[in-house]
Amino acid sequence: MALPPYASTVQTTWYYSFRVICGLILFFLIFPIMVIIPLSFNALPYFTFTPGMLAFEADAYSLDHYRAFFASSDWQGALWNSLKFAPQATIISVTLGTLAAIGLSSGKMPYKGAVMAILISPMIVPLIISASGMYFFYARVGLVGTDLGVILAHAALGTPFVIITVTATLVGFDRSLTRAAANMGAGPVRTFFKVQMPLILPGVVSGGLFAFITSFDEVVVVLFVGSSGQKTLPWQMFTGLREQISPVILAVATILVALSICLLITLEMLRRRSERLRGMSPG
């Protein structure tokens, strides 16, 4: 929105100050992450910029760290575990979170506020507390050190994100559509898949992407409930920082940043589509 020509001095000052403040906040949040990207191309095994890199010399940049990542069996095994656990945890999170959101959006749901608070508690409670509780519970049922235990733990962390996104999508949902489908003889299941699901699909997919990111990037819970056989990519990065400081971590971090950017772009596209379906103008 452009500044109107009749704006006062105070409005003009706030107009430009607000943009400067937003720029400083973005710089504070993004710059530490963006520094990792050029460092991942360092030709030397250092975590700092070399004089050659600062002088933009071609010999100072290399893809050696990326080659080491793809050639290492440890890193590839961790990547495979992350790619194996995250989709399965996402499917569970989307299924449970969508059903919970539909139930919470019903006007007949008793104690809706208390139930909502309980369901989203995994994203509010400190992660170390959730991990400790999962460890003691899973230890009693024999799930510690198993693939199923890690998947269920990640699903528990991702479900609140699905609940929040789907609940927000259901706020603008026209209930008369489901009543019309019921009047025409459609059952609850058919009504859900033919009427309700297509309209809330952007919110479901958005929640699924959040759940996928949560599972893919999570390290604390898997340290508690997993074993060496369930070592994920963040776990391998954590181990690399503690035991052997390898610049390969920078290359992996850059790959994860690129993946996150792609997912965020997808989320924005889904948000705009959801607003169009709900009759709102994107912005």
pLDDT digit string (tens) for 50-62?
888 888 888 888 8
CATH of the domain at 223: 1.10.3720.10
Same domain, 141 and 13: no
Backbone angles phi, psi at 42, to 5 degrees: -65, 130
Q: Give the per-residue pLDDT at 246.
A: 77
Same domain, 39 and 151: no
Same domain, 88 and 144: yes
- In Å, what is the CA distance from 86 to each residue of 55, 62, 89? 41, 31, 5
Average pLDDT over residues 262-266: 83
Same domain, 219 and 103: yes
Same domain, 154 and 182: yes
- Residue 217 belongs to a domain: yes
Same domain, 143 and 14: no
- Residue 64 belongs to a domain: no
Under a CB-based contact definition with an 8 Å cutoff, are residues 79 and 233 in contact? yes
- Residue 128 belongs to a domain: yes
Higher pLDDT pick, 108 / 79? 79
Question: Could you tell me the residue range of the domain that residue 42 belongs to?
Answer: 9-59
pTM, 2 dp: 0.81
Same domain, 132 and 26: no
Number of domains in the chain: 2
